[in-house]
Amino acid sequence: MRIGVLALQGDFIEHEHMLARLGIEAVEVRLPRELEGLDGLIMPGGESTTFGKLAVRFGLVEPLRAFAQSGRPVWGTCAGLIFLAKDVGRDQVTLGLMDVRVKRNAFGRQIDSFICDLQIVGLEDKPFPGVFIRAPIIESVGERVHTLCRLEDGTIVAARQDNLLATAFHPELTDDLRMHALFAQVCERSSPGRVAYET
């Protein structure tokens, strides 16, 4: 199995390390041709406006959309979630694929970062350590979007839509491999043109 990690900016190396711990080949993606032959793609945390600008510069916007629209799994974490979203409340480049409205930097500045236990659909065996760093939140979801995790106050921090997965937190900054293992399982059972997540 080969899972790509968008390596334009942000903490892509940390995702690569998590995949390596699972015995999965990670492929850094910076150019359209590097999407070929991948079973899935992770878009990491970082700075979402920078993602958009670099994706335009390297001709990646339409190839990334086509990759996701082919049915192959795509997972956006933090800034990656913003890059997937249809509505981010401001004018910036996004893929516009996931029917969610996102609020950027919803928890404040980096000094306001925090960790909390999360109850995530599909990982019910024990809480997952959620690392939030200048994180977005999902303010609302469309009809096809399924909420996977909420904070105690009801704030949505993880969701899926067909083959798209989005988390506001950073699983790659923990020692817990379960989110990456779950994504890898989805990649393994999906194929181009088929919806990866069952509802």
Given a cut of 90, whether residue 180 has pLDDT beyond it is yes
| DSSP states along 142-195 | -TT-EEEEE-TT--EEEEEETTEEEESS-GGGSS--HHHHHHHHHHHH--TTS-
Share of the chain above pLDDT 90, in %: 74
User: Quick check: is 78 catalytic?
Assistant: yes
Given a cut of 90, whether residue 16 has pLDDT beyond it is yes
Q: Which of 15, 16, 149, 172 is catalytic?
A: 172
Mean pLDDT over 91-120 rounds to 82
Q: 134 and 110 in contact (C-beta within 8 Å)?
A: yes
pLDDT tens per residue, range 60-80: 999 999 999 999 999 999 999
Residue 194 lies in a domain: no
User: What integer pLDDT is reported at residue 7 of this predicted model?
Assistant: 95
User: Quick check: is 149 catalytic?
Assistant: no
User: What integer pLDDT is reported at residue 106 of this predicted model?
Assistant: 63
User: What integer pLDDT is reported at residue 196 of this predicted model?
Assistant: 39
User: Quick check: is 15 catalytic?
Assistant: no
Residue 197 lies in a domain: no
Residue 195 lies in a domain: no
User: What integer pLDDT is reported at residue 108 of this predicted model?
Assistant: 57
Residue 173 lies in a domain: yes
Task: Report residue 124's pLDDT band, with 50, 70 and 90 as the boundaries.
Answer: confident
Query: Residue 33: which residues within 8 A CB-CB, separation 6 or more?
Result: none
Given a cut of 50, whether residue 199 has pLDDT beyond it is no
Task: Report residue 195's pLDDT band, with 50, 70 and 90 as the boundaries.
Answer: very low
Least trusted range by pLDDT, from 39-43, 101-105, 116-120: 101-105
Residue 16 lies in a domain: yes
Mean pLDDT over 51-56 rounds to 89
User: What integer pLDDT is reported at residue 64 of this predicted model?
Assistant: 96
If we measure between CA atoms, which residue out of 173, 177, 76 comes closest to residue 126? 177
Given a cut of 60, whether residue 191 has pLDDT beyond it is no
Give kind and range of the element (H or E) at residue 64: helix 61-69
Q: How many structural domains is the chain composed of?
A: 1
Domain CATH for 98? 3.40.50.880
Residue 196 lies in a domain: no
pLDDT tens per residue, range 39-53: 999 999 888 888 889
Mean pLDDT over 15-44 rounds to 96
Given a cut of 50, whether residue 198 has pLDDT beyond it is no
Q: Which of 15, 149, 170, 180 is catalytic?
A: 170
Alpha helices in 70-129 (DSSP H): 79-84
Across the chain, mean pLDDT equals 89
Residue 142 lies in a domain: yes
Domain that holds residue 101: 2-189
User: What integer pLDDT is reported at residue 189 of this predicted model?
Assistant: 84
Q: Which of 78, 149, 180, 187 is catalytic?
A: 78
